[in-house]
Amino acid sequence: MSVHRDSQLDMFAKASSATAKARGPSHRRPSQPVVHSNEDMARALEESGNYRILRKLVARPIASVRQPGFSRLGVILDTETTGLNHRSDEIIEIGAVAFTFDDDGAIGDIVGIYGGLQQPSRSIPPDITRLTGITDAMVEGQLIDIRSLRTLIEPADLIIAHNAGFDRPFCEAFSTIFTGKAWACSVSEINWSARGFEGTKLGYLVGQAGYFHEGHRAVDDCHALLEILDREQRDGESPFTELYRASQRSRIRIFAEHSPFEMKDHLKARGYRWSDGSDGRLKSWWIEVGEEDLDDELSYLRSDIYRWAEAEPPIVRLTAFDRFKL
């Protein structure tokens, strides 16, 4: 038995040796994992159709040398405040990003940045802290540097705010450096819907453009808005080009003064807003339209609201120097 068992062992040993010789010596190295860049992985996920990727928005630096041909200066401005009323609430942060642009609305370089906090006369409300992340401790002893801010604002041809109707009254109440400047509103003076966006809030615009950023801090929001304004869309026309062109057109504010009370819902549905007279305007419903829409709007008021063909509601012509004021 032992001889037979040894013969079997010997047979398998020879077979194993022969197989090893046939395969040859093993010098193969362990396979190394393939390294993909973050962008490669993001692109692969996007191309699968199952994922949507948001890329972190990186702020542009201040240009060391300005590109020639961009002779105009714009300033994107954002404020954080203690509330919504410019008469009783206060600015606690201002952010500003100055950039060059040309007469066609093409953006050049960032040429200046300012961000500053200011301590208000009373504690910051908790809901404002939740929204902005700004605490009483952060603003304690802080003052906005008007001199630094002035170097950006005074030479500006246009100040842009994402809801200029909010920011302009606060800024003009804060300092005279904002008085007499031309303003543009990137909410109301750009047709975002026609550009495929589902909302006008900055967070929506940034997200739908494929980015994310640290929102609700003034300078960060300014940088984010600049990137969205400089995106080429719709036959190569950027949102800023549309905004700049709109800022150069005059608008007409029509006051439906003494309109019948029972017509208020009709006016509201058409886009009219109520003014109680406390801001210096007439106490009435009002709307702003372009010059090209003036005749149609007056016809509507005469036929549907006043029902009197000779009615002459008050109108005021506005430019970028007048719009969005107190």
Distances 13 to 18, 21, 129, 141 between C-alpha atoms, Å = 9, 12, 79, 87
Q: What positions carry a catalytic annotation?
A: 216
| Element at 154 (helix H, strand E) | none
SS3 content of the chain, % helix, strand, coil (to 5): 35, 20, 45
**114 three-class SS:** strand
**Sequence-separated (6 or more) residues with CB below 8 Å from residue 137:** none
| Kind of pairing between the strands at 251-256 and 315-318 | antiparallel
Q: 212 is written with which tokens?
A: 């994310």
Residues 105/245, Cβ–Cβ less than 8 Å: yes
Helices (H), the chain: 2-23, 38-47, 126-132, 136-139, 146-153, 164-174, 202-208, 218-229, 239-247, 264-270, 294-300
Place of tokens 């860049």: 37
Q: Two tokens at 308? A: 């009197």
Give the span between the Cα atoms of 154 and 170, in whole angstroms. Answer: 17
Q: Which of these, 299, 222, 289, 221, lies nearest to 249 by C-alpha position?
A: 289
Interstrand relation of 158-161 and 251-256 (parallel, antiparallel or unpaired): unpaired
The C-alpha atoms of residue 183 and residue 60 are separated, in whole angstroms, by 23
Beta bridge partners of 183: 159
Whether 315 contacts 294, CB under 8 Å:
yes
Which two three-digit tokens encode residue 203? 């967070």
Q: Which two tokens stand for residue 151?
A: 């170097």
